[in-house]
Amino acid sequence: MLVHYHEIGLKGGNRPSFELKLCGNLEHALAGLPLKSVRRLPGRIVVTFEPAADPAEVTERLSWVPGLESFSPARRFGLELDRVAEAAAEAVVSRMPASFGVKARRGYKSVPQSSQEIGALVGAAIVARTGLPVDLKKPELWVRVEVLPREVLLYLDRHRGAGGLPVGTAGKVVALVSGGIDSPVAAWRLMKRGARCVFLHFHSHPFTDAASQEKTLEVVERLARIQGISVLYSCPFAELQKELVARAPAPLRVILYRRFMVRVANVVARRERALALVTGESVGQVASQTLQNMATVDAVAELPVLRPLVGMNKNEIVAEAERLGTYEISIQPHGDCCSFLMPRKPATTSRPDELAALEKEWPVDEWVAATCARLGRRLVQPPGAVAPREAMLAVDAIV
Ligand code: ATP
Ligand code: MG
């Protein structure tokens, strides 16, 4: 596979570290497949496999690695251009397009011919074999040849990569994931900008069943395919919710839950040295997601609260969740809002000082500390990867 990367090209002096990070991420993404080597060349990465590698599986995995602009399954040859030309003609015969063009690139002077001469040589072999017309502007099929220091690559297809930046180049964020449709998409958006997500889920067990936790685990497994082994914190929230239900006016409950979620997220972020929090909110989607309520929640955050979906419509988010493969998981029913916890008419507007005045009467720090003492932390890895899921579940530990 010849991998071309996305915005890394823009990073000047940081470029080598970005490239190294991407190489490591590629190795993780391809773990378990018969991989031979991942090599860094100026402007590109060459990944080689044992013959047993399944091209469909490789393509699927690579398509989710942030930072790739494109990747192309290529055939490798020694520095023998005649053999390359012959193989190119063979490959074109199997496609028989209406027209073709050859793009040759000699980044190294490992063969005497210039890029142009290589293009002409390969093109002539294809014409001799097929009689097809050459079109160097908009051919139906591009035949690409890349000359490397000790080998030549030949390829016809180019798959689009996920784009963005390699995970791990932007630092860590704590992504609040609910088991709903939106939050996994929000996390994905940040991964694509180079952030590594630490996941945090709040559940109301025993008021609700374990479905939201199961769903969240599945969602995080899906996302772990993109960023590799991931950390998932799960927070039993029922005790705290019980206190809030007993003491606060019903319309303010949801906004209070959010403020306490953020306080717990502050603690997790400190522990993980994360640089921001991430939520799946978008303006006006539900009562708790008005601009006023967002400000009221942000008032207790110690870090920026990033809301990458803030300007998106639900149907746009759903389409992205479908592409991501989390939609199917998210729409499974779960007892998110048992009627006892959720008010019938949540407030659409609130002020930080109003909530602060209410909370001043309560032992907020104590509640947060008690809730954090119940936090569970587990490692989640992509399905089918090195260790079976059961083994990972066993890592579940109280921190
Ligand atoms: P989602 O599909 O992400 O659940 P939603 O439309 O259901 O979004 P809300 O339930 O209002 O929206 O939640 C808004 C955001 O708050 C979520 O996107 C998520 O980031 C965070 N959040 C809500 N509930 C939880 C939870 N139980 N655990 C962790 N984060 C949560
Ligand atoms: Mg939700």
328-380: pLDDT as tens digits: 999 988 765 556 678 888 889 889 999 999 999 999 999 999 999 999 999 99
End-to-end CA distance of the chain: 41
Nearest protein Cα to ligand 1, atom 4: 180
| 348 vs 362: CA distance, rounded Å | 23
Nearest protein Cα to ligand 1, atom 8: 182
Lookup result for tokens 């031979």:
36
User: Which of 173, 174, 176 gets mutated to test ligand 1 (max ligand atoms within 8 A of its CB)?
Assistant: 176
| 317 vs 322: CA distance, rounded Å | 9
Q: Which two tokens stand for residue 284?
A: 């006006």
Instruction: Locate all alpha helices (DSSP H) within 44-181, ordered by sequence.
Output: 55-62, 81-93, 115-130
210-248: pLDDT as tens digits: 888 999 999 999 999 999 999 999 999 999 999 999 999
Beta strand pairing status for 172-176 and 44-49? unpaired
Domains detected in the chain: 2-73 (3.30.70.1510), 83-156 (3.30.2300.10), 172-398 (3.40.50.620)
Neighbours of 311 (CB within 10 A): 9
pLDDT value of residue 399: 29
What is the reported pTM?
A: 0.90
| 246 vs 208: CA distance, rounded Å | 18
- Per the CB < 8 A criterion, the answer to whether 217 and 379 are in contact is no
pLDDT value of residue 393: 42
Ligand 1 midpoint to CA 203 (Å): 11
158-197: pLDDT as tens digits: 999 999 999 999 999 999 999 899 999 999 999 999 999 9
Beta strand pairing status for 172-176 and 196-203? parallel
What confidence category does residue 43 fall into, taking pLDDT thresholds of 50, 70 and 90?
confident
| 36 vs 27: CA distance, rounded Å | 10
Q: Which two tokens stand for residue 213?
A: 């936790």
Judged against a pLDDT cut of 50, whether residue 394 lies above it is answered with no
- Read off the pLDDT of each residue in 51-80 and give the average, rounded to a whole number: 95
pLDDT value of residue 336: 52
What confidence category does residue 42 fall into, taking pLDDT thresholds of 50, 70 and 90?
confident
347 CB within 6 A, ligand 1 = no
Judged against a pLDDT cut of 60, whether residue 390 lies above it is answered with no
- Per the CB < 8 A criterion, the answer to whether 43 and 204 are in contact is no
| 114 vs 274: CA distance, rounded Å | 50
